[in-house]
Amino acid sequence: MDKQVKDKKTAIMDVALKLFTERGFHGTSTAQISKEAGVATGTLFNYFPTKEDLINSLYFEVKGRLSACIKEGLDSEAPFEGRMKRLWSNFISCGVNKPEEFHFIGQFSSSPYITKITREEAMKEYEFIRALVEEGFRNGEIGNYSMELAMMILYQSSRAVVSLILDTGHLQDTDEIIEEGFEILWRGLAKN
């Protein structure tokens, strides 16, 4: 795949990410995407046989990008609380730094399009989060709560914080909000 090809494909995916995030899947036509990407309508369908293929390709690409960002520096030998805090902090700063990706994933995973199977498949990318929380349970670092409940509260709270920062424009207060948010979360989840 040479540079020209990669350029067009990348342009299509970049524009698709932007427009899907702004207007939703049904609200964005393939014509709009190809026009804004500066290619002909036919070109889009060379790379992505159907609109659904485009959405799925984009999903895996974006999911991978976020997943890689969140994983950074998580393999340390630090104490459990420190790694949880790193996960929390990564989650939020990745969301804040990649707002389109963040919104896209949020929209995609709660979309009525997505079958249970696809959603479960997507969850595998975040398996390491489950592993970390499970470790916390085994070692008694996290209180005696339902595993799924703790996971959901961790995940959705971090999403809530990203939305708070992005929607209200508190970009300069990010570090402080991360600290405060983790304090709330950790006091809630930790044993004693």
Residue 142 phi/psi, 5° resolution? Answer: -105, 140
**Which residue from 97, 133, 132, 113 is spatially nearest to 58, judged by alpha carbons?**
113
Tell me which residues touch its own copies (CB under 8 A): 21-27, 106-107, 110-113, 143, 145-146, 148-150, 152-153, 155-157, 159-161, 163-164, 168, 177, 180-181, 183-189
Q: Which does 52 bind (CB under 5 to 8 A by kind): its own copies, DNA, none?
A: DNA
The total number of residues shown for the chain amounts to: 192
Nearer of residues 7 and 180 to its own copies, judged by Cβ: 180
Q: Nearest-5° angle of CA 158, CA 159, CA 160?
A: 90
Q: Which does 106 bind (CB under 5 to 8 A by kind): its own copies, DNA, none?
A: its own copies
Tokens of 30: 């393939």
Instruction: Give the C-alpha separation, 88 to 188, whole Å.
Output: 14
Nearer of residues 15 and 150 to DNA, judged by Cβ: 15
Tokens of 149: 């409940």
Q: Return the residues of window 5-24 that contact DNA according to CB under 7 A.
A: 5, 8
Which H helix or E strand runs over 124?
none
- Minimum CB separation from DNA for residue 114, in Å? 15
Stretch that binds DNA, among 4-12, 104-112, 120-128, 184-192 (CB under 7 A): 4-12
- Minimum CB separation from its own copies for residue 27, in Å? 5
- Minimum CB separation from DNA for residue 160, in Å? 31
For the purposes of burial, counting CB atoms within 10 Å of the CB of 135, is it exposed (0-12), middle (13-18) or buried (19 or more)?
middle
Helix (H, G, I), strand (E, B) or coil at 142: strand
Among 46, 107, 139, 168, binds DNA (CB under 7 A): 46
Helix (H, G, I), strand (E, B) or coil at 26: coil
Nearer of residues 127 and 179 to its own copies, judged by Cβ: 179
Q: Residue numbers of the site for DNA (CB under 7 A)? A: 1-2, 4-5, 8, 28-32, 38-43, 45-46, 49-52
